[in-house]
Structures are given as C-alpha cells and as structure tokens.
Amino acid sequence: MTAVPAQAASTDRRRLKVHETAIGDRIYEIVTTFCALVVPALVIAIAITIFAGAWPAFSKLGLSIVTSSDWDVNAGKFGAAPAIFGTLVSSAVALIIATPLAIGVAIFLSEFSPTWLRQPIGFLVDLLAAVPSVVYGLWGIFVLVPMLREHVMPFLRDTLHLGATPFFSGPAYGPSMLAAGVILAIMALPYISSVSREVLLAVPRSQREAALALGATRWEMIRDAVVPYAKSGIIGGIMLGLGRALGETMAVTMVIGNRPEISASLFAPGYTMASLIANQFSEATSDLHLSALTAVGAILFVITLIVNAVARWLVWQVSRDRAV
Amino acid sequence: MKALKLAVFVLFAVACAKEGNNSSTASSTSSSSGSVDLTGAGATFPYPLYSKWFDEYAKLTGVKINYQSIGSGGGIRQLSEGTVDFGASDSPMSDAELAKAKFGPILHIPTVLGAVVITYNVPALSAPLNLTAPVIADIFAGKITKWNDARIASLNPGVSLPSSDILVVHRSDGSGTTYIFTDYLTAAAPSWKAIGKGKEVSWPAGLGAKGNEGVAGQVKQTPGAIGYVELAYAKQNKLPIAAVKNKAGKFVVASVPAVTAAAAGVAKTLPANTDFRISVVDAPGPDAYPISSFTWILVYQHQRDSVKGKKLVDFLNWALTYGEPEAPTLDYAPLPSEMTPKVKAKVATIDFAGAK
C-alpha cells in the first residue's frame, strides 16, 4: 500500500525528467514531421500546377484529347489516344518480360545461390538501375534495334509463324513497341528483383523448415511456403517496376519510332505520353499546344496514381489473405 | 493543436516551395547583371557558331554572353516574357507570337543560313541521288514506296535502283530543321500543301527519331531508309546526300556557297523596309540550294536597359562584321554581302526608349 504512492512519485519524477530533456526530441519530431509533409505538399503543388496548366486544353478539347488519334499541331488537333495506348502497352510488354525474369533472379539468389555468388550477382542486377536512361537508349539504337530487326523479329514472325497473329505481323523496321517494351523490361527488372530478393530473404527460416519437415521438396517449399509469404512484397516490387516503365522518357523515345498510331502489332512503331511531351515541349509556342502537352502530363499523372492505388489494393488484398 | 501544427507546416512548406520557385527565376535574371552581361536562349541549330562568337567576343571586349540552347520555341517564350535579353530562332515568329511579346516590337536579325539535306541508305548507289520537290514530297507522304519507282528512276537515268521498300525517317521532336524542310515542300510541291509546314507536322508515313543524330542513326542502320538532317551535321558525319533540283532546273548538292547563293537570290528583291521574316526556300538562281533558311537572333526594338541594350547592339554589329567570315569553318553559310548593310541598318533602329 505504501509502495504505490512512492512508485507513482518516482515515475512522475522520471516523466518530468524526460519532459525536461525532451527539447531534442521535440526538434527531432518537428524536423521529421516537416520532412514528411514536404513530400505530400510537393505532390499537391505539382498536381495543382499541372492541372491548372492543362485546364485550357481540357476545357477546349474535352474528351477528344483522350479518345482522338489525330495529333496535328498545325490544325490545332490534339488527340493523345495513341500515346496513352503506347504507354500502357509498352509498360505491359515490359512487365510480361521482366516479371518472370526478375522473380527468377530473386528466387535463385535467395534460395539456390551459394553465398559467395549472391553478392556479385545481386550487385550486377542492381547496377542495371544505375545506368542512365540515355545510355539504354543509345544501346537500344545501336544494338537492340538492329538485333530485333535482323534476328528476333524474323524469328518470331517467320520461324515461329507468329506472323499469322496480328501481334507480330507487318514489316520489321526495328524501332517498335516491342523494342520499347524490351528496353523498359531491362530498366524495370532491377527494381522488381531487388525488392523481391529482399522480401524472399526476409521470409523466416522456420517457414522453410516447417515446409521441409512436412516432406516438401525444395520446389514445393519455395512454391507453397516461401513465395506466398513474400507475395505482397513481390507485388509491391512489380508495381515499382511498372511505375518506372510508365514514366520512362528518353530511352523509349529513342527506340519506339514515335509514330502516333494505334496498331495491334508489336512490330509497328508507336508513341508514349512521356515521349510526346519530351519531343514537343521545347518547341511548342502556341498556348493550346503547350496546354495540350501539359494535359498529357496530367493524364499520365492520373494513370500513375491509379496504378499506385491498384498496387496498394493488391498488396492489401494479398496480406489480408495471408492473415486469414 | 495538432491540426494547427499541421496547417502551419503545410503553409511553411508551400511558402518554401514558392520561395524556391522565385529564387530560381530571380537567380537566372540577377546573374545577368553579375558576371554575365547578356543572356540569351533559343535555337540549338546555330549554337556551335554562336558559342564560338560569344567566346571570341568575351576575349575581345570582356562582355560575357550566356546562351542556353533550349530550342527556338523556348527562346521565343522566354523573350516574350522578358526573362532573357535576346532570343534565337530557326523559324520566323508568327504575327500571333509577336503580338504576345510583353515589351513591344521584336526585330528579326538574320545571322547565318543553314540548309537541310536529304540523306539515304541505298548501298548500291555511288553518285548522289537526284531528287525533285514533288518526288521528295511523295516519298515523305508515303505515296512513293519503292526505290525503283518510275518517278525516282526517271530522275536518275543509268542508275540501277533496288526494288526495296523506302523507310521514311523524320524528326520526332519539334525542330527548326523540320520547319525548313516542310516550308520547302509546301513552297515547291503542290501535293504537300495539305500537310503544311511547321516545327512538327502530322507525318503521314515513316518513323520519328529524336534529333539529327537520331535520324542519321536510323538511316545509317536501315537499308532503304531516307531522312533529312542539317547540312552541318551531314557534312561532319560524311553522310550521303541527295542533289535537289532548284527553281532554275539544276540539280544542286548542298554546300555553303550554294546556300549563300540562295539567300543572294532572295536578297536582291528585298524591299527597303523588310522585317527579315523571309523564307529563302526554293530560291531563284542557278546555283542556289533550295532547302535553305536564315536563322535569326530576336531582340526587342525598344530596349529596357540602356547599358545592356548598347552591349547587345555592339555585339550584333561585331557579329555581322567579324563573325560572318567564320561561319563557313563550322559549315554555316554567311549572309550574302549585299545583305549585310541592310541588316546593320535594322540593328541601328534599336533604341533605348523602353529604359526606365
């Protein structure tokens, strides 16, 4: 009974003491809060600027900027549908190529690789993310595009007879949606594989041992115990890679062919929203042209937001499934 | 309390963002009164020559000129807003653009000429390919699709042309080069009028590549490709170039004298009060290369700062006198000699009435 007030008093004193020395904590709190708020404030400021700049185009052109394929500056027509299509398709192609490869790399590094090999391979894969995109573009022009034109495209079209499908038909010039997709896949790959590798390595040992103890083979252990555990993180990595692919400008501009046309064939040249802005912004002088380019930026902004929202939702879905 | 704190932070952050914004524009203008005396922005095409001029001029007079080659469109925008002392453009400003300038009338001062050449990748050819405007127009419009088309063959008697497909490569970025090329086709090929001229047009065919190097790279790598690049770029990279039929009916391969000849043909007929917003595509004269154009420095007629204004006028006079002869070393064509006095007379009309 007597001990209680004494204890209370001592904790009081301790709290007091904490409070006295907490000025450092307060500064720390203020600084970190400030840092945390700068980012959302920046995003909001960017969004406001973009949408304000895009408003004249949206009000004058209406939905046609999204639905029309006719981009003719001289005639004052600004239809960005091919660019929107190109952004989505090239990013999708990139993910289709990059995801299995990246997850394969991640699984090898976390499950099969000898420890001495893990570091160098991981380092090399991460290094892909450090290469400037203009270097990818140059490599694309001088190596990838000629290779696609002379070997890969004829192989896909004629040897595999995929030319019968609309997706691999038509003349093989080289610069194409396929070239853009491949370049983007290489650029998105390190993001996906790095994140996946880290989450796979974070899967508790007990998870693996439990699976093995139940008589699972190594493959079954990875498939049934490790990957499901890491699924939300892997999806997060894929979405990070997708974000990279959606916004990439320079390398894509250099290999996609920049033709504002919607074509089913991956061999046909295309256009992306980021390329459109990069190509035309510096020489745009009319108000509507500038506003239309800003509007394309606004649409890209919204698409990226939607992708991020979907990613959050997916991660949330997956982690909820696991909790149940 | 928490909400208030949040609000204060957001305000602070926004204020910071604004502050940053202001200071960045302020620094770009304030620097002009510091170590740099004049600032300019605009066309990338004349940049190598201009930077050589600015360099020499700084050595001679100590007047430093900072030029940013951000593109003609950007140069026109910045000059209109008054954030630079002069602009530079490969295509003349339109009346609408001139009307938007905030500080009164803008003068076009032609400095040098450039040309656009047709480059191609047809390995079998040894001599330059002969082309005419209507044929070029139909190739770039996608109407002529084979190299051995009768219309190309008839211009090149005795040359065996391959039966391969023609791949058109054009600029994907807005460019003065595209302006000059489409200006020429609009002037000389009736069939191109529907497409029109501009720094970017709605191309009916082909691939877009970024920059001269993009077009040249694509043409070099793709057998059967055809594209257009600046003369200086083509010469420095030794690209094969086509001979183009001029107004006098002669096939002319682009060269510095041929480009100056095009301007000379037009200069003779200039009215005394010209604003120099003149096109020299499809120029008369037997030696004129037809796909040529001036490039301009853009300045306000009524300078707002008499010190800077005088420096600018001095520089322009120096460039027109001593800078011109250097142009050919960098593959730019100088103004024809009969035109220089007229341009100098235009520079002399710059006054400092805008000064406060």
Tell me the per-residue pLDDT of B148-195, one tens digit each, with 9 for 90 and over: 999 999 999 988 899 999 999 999 988 889 999 999 999 999 999 999
H helical segments located in chain A: 3-21, 23-61, 64-67, 81-107, 115-127, 133-139, 145-147, 153-154, 177-201, 205-213, 218-221, 227-247, 250-255, 273-280, 287-323
Between A49 and B236, the more confident residue is A49
Of B5, B76, B207, Cβ closest to residue A258 = B207
Please state the separation of Cα A195 from the chain's center in Å.
12
* Cβ atoms of B89 and B72 closer than 8 Å: yes
Predicted confidence (pLDDT) per residue in B117-157, tens digit: 999 999 888 889 999 999 999 999 999 999 999 999 999 99
H helical segments located in A62-176: 64-67, 81-107, 115-127, 133-139, 145-147, 153-154
When pLDDT is averaged across residues A141-164 and rounded to a whole number, the result is 90
Distance from CA of A205 to the nearest CA of B (A): 43
**pLDDT value, residue A169:** 85
**pLDDT value, residue B180:** 93
**Closest-CA residue in chain A for B76?**
A285
Integer Rg of chain A from CA: 26
Q: Evaluate if residue B31 carries a pLDDT over 50.
A: no
Instruction: Annotate A225-251 with DSSP letters as a single string.
Output: IIHHHHHHHHHHHHHHHHHHHHH--HH
**Considering only CA atoms, which of B178, B173, B174, B168 is closest in space to residue B206?**
B168
**pLDDT value, residue A12:** 54
Judging contacts by C-beta atoms under 8 Å, the chain B residues touching residue A34 are: 9, 12-13
Distances (CA, A) of A289 to A72, A248, A280, B106, B208: 10, 22, 9, 22, 19
Distance from CA of A191 to the nearest CA of B (A): 27
**Considering only CA atoms, which of B206, B328, B77, B95 is closest in space to residue A293?**
B77
Angle between helices A177-201 and A227-247 (to 10 degrees): 140
* pLDDT band at residue B238 under the 50/70/90 scheme: confident
**pLDDT value, residue B178:** 92
**Residues 6+ away with beta carbon under 8 Å from B223:** B121, B122, B123, B164
When pLDDT is averaged across residues B23-46 and rounded to a whole number, the result is 63
* pLDDT band at residue B27 under the 50/70/90 scheme: very low
Type of residue numbered B218: Q
Neighbour tally for B152: CB within 10 Å? 21
Q: Is the Cβ pair A45, B217 closer than 8 Å?
A: no
**Considering only CA atoms, which of B198, B197, B233, B194 is closest in space to residue B212?**
B233
Residue B281 has, within 13 A of its CA and on its CB side, a CA count of 22
Between B12 and B217, the more confident residue is B217
Distance from CA of A162 to the nearest CA of B (A): 22
Element (H, E) at B294: strand B292-300
Interface predicted TM-score of the whole assembly (ipTM), two decimals: 0.79
Reduced DSSP (H G I as helix, E B as strand, rest coil) percent helix, strand, coil of chain B, to 5: 45, 20, 40
Judging contacts by C-beta atoms under 8 Å, the chain A residues touching residue B202 are: 70-75, 77
Angle between helices B306-318 and B340-348 (to 10 degrees): 170
Quote the pTM value.
Answer: 0.82
**Considering only CA atoms, which of A113, A8, A240, A48 is closest in space to residue B21?**
A48
